[in-house]
Amino acid sequence: MENRFSGWVILLFVLMVAGVCALRKGTPDPLASSAPPEVFSAERALVFLNALATSPHPLGSPEHDRVRDYLVSELTALGLSPEVERTTGVTPRYEVAGTVENIVARLKGTSGKTDAVALLAHYDSVPAGPGAGDDGAGVAALLETLRALRAGPPLPNDILFVITDGEEDGLLGASAFVAENPAARDVRVAVNFEARGNAGESQMFETSAGNGRLVEMFLEAAPHPSGSSLTYEIYKHMPNDTDMTVFKRSGAAGLNFAFIGHWEAYHTPLDNPQRLDRGSLQQHGENALSLARRFGNADLTELRDRDSVYFSMPGNLFAHYSSRFVWPLAMVSGVLLFGVIFYANGAWQTSLLAVFGSFFAHILVLLVLLLVGLGFEFAVRWLHLNALPEGGLDQNTFYVLGLFALLLGVDALLYKFFRKRIAPPAFFLGGAALLFVLVLVTSKWLPGGTYMFAWPLLAGLVATAIAAFRPGDLSILSALLLGVLSLPALLLFVPILKGFYTALGFTTIGAPLLSVTFGLLFLLLSPFLDTALESAGKLLPVVALVASLALCVVAAKTTRYSPEHPKPSLLSYALDANTGKALWTSSVTRVDSWTAEYLGASPTRGKLPDFIPDWYPIDFLQHEAPSIALVPPLAELLEDSSDGATRTLHLRISTPRHARTLHVGIAEAEVLGATVNGHDLGKPSEARWRKPGHWSLDYANPPAEGIDLLLSVEAAGPVTVVLVDRSSGLPAIPGANFPPRPADAMPIHSGDQTMVRRSFVF
């Protein structure tokens, strides 16, 4: 009886700790405007944010110019002399360029040295949203940080406030600053602030290489540190970039911060000051101010050390240690694993063959859970595409909880099935062997992620050796010990599950990843929960499966687009000036009552060559549109020369419609090199989305007189240049009365736009 009671005590403890980890907010309380002047106040920062993010302000828009002038005025009022750096920014990696206006201001230090700390944020937004989170929160945090720094004692080192332009169009401002601004040579460490949503913890998700000293200084300085080396390891393998990418390539040390909660607001009208989480802004600003002071007082020549393994935990805890301990920790895990296996072989007569067999059984369990996650996500999307109302699924809490309940039921059934055939110690030790393999794999290829396997594995092995799997001998004292030993798995894996949901959501990638991670957590907890699982019998799987069904029913009934949760989409008018034909295009997956006004009942689906890059991961619904007279972009040949092997074309390209962006594409000639406005566009072969036999350039905010493009191509015949200019908003169609977007629909990213294509042969 005591054995069963102790088992249920452990289960209750595990559920309580898991619930606290899952529900904790993690962000600090925002400070009021009455807070002491030398500290950061989210309420004071909101004054700046409310002025910045009143409406979309993309590069090249009148609202962008208003925000620029406001920032210059505020920096001046705060006692600095800001410089507006007007130039052409070029990012060869993305085949993009643009006319940008960075804002740079220096808070002079007392040392007289030029070494500087750069605090970074970008002030442009996308056309679809006002950018309160991305990146108005970062800019507002820097302004409030400057105010607080001015209220405190002066710092020895200079602090550079670099508010970049054109980040959304391809890191253009950061590229221009690093390439051309003399102040860039003074930057020893850069701290960047970004967002992909409007809530959540401001996490350090990226650092420069050799980050040991940086992590140590961050922990010393920040009052609420958050981040993990696992996040950085994952980010290194993703195609995402921020302004920090440019600074790191220039040789500066760096830390990158962002919050990503509620990313359904990202690049939409929902990214507004009213919806922004004040705690996220407070933590953003605390990170900025504390690091400005820490680096402002530091020796900036001593910033690099061996990489760290680091992770934050509930309770404002932050652990870190040198990566030199990664392999020793792996070896300790291996020694303890084999020690416990041999102990089990003698103490419990656990067959080594059973341990070996359970190793593959756990692989099978994880594979089943992965397929369950994939199948569940596919089924839900299919139902909402064909039978149920459309609605936001990516951040759908009820469906994710339904998935977790289903996984629990399946995992419990599989555990019960294997427990009848394999003794519990052997079953766990086979899983522990699988975890040890993961420790070795991550130690080799993902060292910053080793902590998530190594520490829970060590705790599980100790629990197995001391107190677990002792039928009839699970005392209250043993239960307390097992509760303590379950903490590493809970404190590390529950936040990881929450982080994966926050970052990836209920998507084709997120659902299977959540499923496998859940399976690993269940595996780690099995030595602690074995008694409770055995006592529960068939009740746990039945309750879990019923709960999953109930949660799915609730999700199906509540998932639908509404004014509170609008449907995001792109709607465009695309005119081919050569043929006179036009199209309505939309990114929606199925036609609704509003898009049917443009697309009809049976639109076609496909790519939009030239209008939208081929790498863009969407096939657009398309329908014939009325052709109207719109002035197309122009290409004027200024000079044409050849040396027999190479032909040089000097073109003036302009948009009489004063469109926000210009696209230049060449598909049937090999481009050897190019410059725009005298700035080298880099080697075509180094572009990220390089397509053999195709070259392109997207230029944001082209000047009224146009851009100067110098092309070197193989002299093998005529060169066809395809131009597309893109302007925000839809055109007025004479005689037509198309309805505006309803309250339950919203634009995203580039927003509704008008595109005009024209080709030239030279």
DSSP, res 750: T
* CATH numbers and ranges of domains, the chain: 2-23+325-558 (no CATH), 42-313 (3.40.630.10), 565-762 (no CATH)
Residue 692 has pLDDT above 80, yes or no: no
**Of the segments 474-483, 624-633, 685-694, which one has the largest average pLDDT value?**
624-633
Q: Cα–Cα distance between 677 and 700 in angstroms, integer?
A: 13
Q: Is 119 helix (H, G, I), strand (E, B) or coil?
A: strand
- Kind and range of the H or E element at 761? strand 753-761
Q: Cα–Cα distance between 570 and 560 in angstroms, integer?
A: 19
pLDDT of residue 347: 61
HEC string of 239-297?
A: CCCCHHHHHHHCCCEEEEEEECECHHHCCCCCCCCCCCCHHHHHHHHHHHHHHHHHHHC
Where does the pLDDT of residue 737 fall: very low under 50, low under 70, confident under 90, or very high at 90 and above?
Answer: confident
Measured from the Cβ of residue 300, the count of other Cβ atoms closer than 10 Å reads 19
pLDDT of residue 424: 82
Q: Are 398 and 558 in contact (CB under 8 A)?
A: yes
Of 295, 312, 153, 321, give the one whose Cα is nearest residue 221: 295
Q: Cα–Cα distance between 82 and 73 in angstroms, integer?
A: 9
Query: Tens digit of pLDDT for each residue in 704-724?
Result: 999 999 999 987 789 999 999
Residue 467 has pLDDT above 70, yes or no: no
Q: Cα–Cα distance between 726 and 15 in angstroms, integer?
A: 53
Assigned token pair, 444:
């080799």
Residue 468 has pLDDT above 70, yes or no: no
Reported pTM: 0.94
Q: Are 190 and 254 in contact (CB under 8 A)?
A: yes
Assigned token pair, 242:
């921020």
Q: Check the CA dihedral 59-238-213-200 and report its sign.
A: positive
Where does the pLDDT of residue 529 fall: very low under 50, low under 70, confident under 90, or very high at 90 and above?
Answer: confident
- The residue that leads in pLDDT, 684 or 377, is 377
Average pLDDT over residues 1-22: 81
Peptide bond into 619 cis (omega under 30): no
pLDDT of residue 1: 47
Q: Is 545 helix (H, G, I), strand (E, B) or coil?
A: helix
Residue 516 has pLDDT above 90, yes or no: yes
Of 152, 180, 176, 154, give the one whose Cα is nearest residue 165: 176
Of 96, 51, 17, give the one whose Cα is nearest residue 491: 17
Where does the pLDDT of residue 351 fall: very low under 50, low under 70, confident under 90, or very high at 90 and above?
Answer: confident
Query: Tens digit of pLDDT for each residue in 118-168?
Result: 999 999 999 999 999 999 999 999 999 999 999 999 999 999 999 999 999
Lowest mean pLDDT among 14-18, 223-227, 253-257: 14-18
Looking at the DSSP assignment, which residues form a beta bridge with residue 570? none
Q: Is 253 helix (H, G, I), strand (E, B) or coil?
A: strand
End-to-end Cα separation, the chain, in angstroms: 90
Averaged confidence pLDDT in the chain: 93
pLDDT of residue 349: 66
Residue 2 has pLDDT above 60, yes or no: no
Where does the pLDDT of residue 479 fall: very low under 50, low under 70, confident under 90, or very high at 90 and above?
Answer: confident
Query: Tens digit of pLDDT for each residue in 24-83?
Result: 989 999 999 999 999 999 999 999 999 999 999 999 999 999 999 999 999 999 999 999
Query: Tens digit of pLDDT for each residue in 83-129?
Result: 999 999 999 989 999 999 999 999 999 999 999 999 999 999 999 99
Of 50, 122, 494, give the one whose Cα is nearest residue 272: 50
Lowest mean pLDDT among 435-444, 480-489, 555-564, 749-758: 480-489
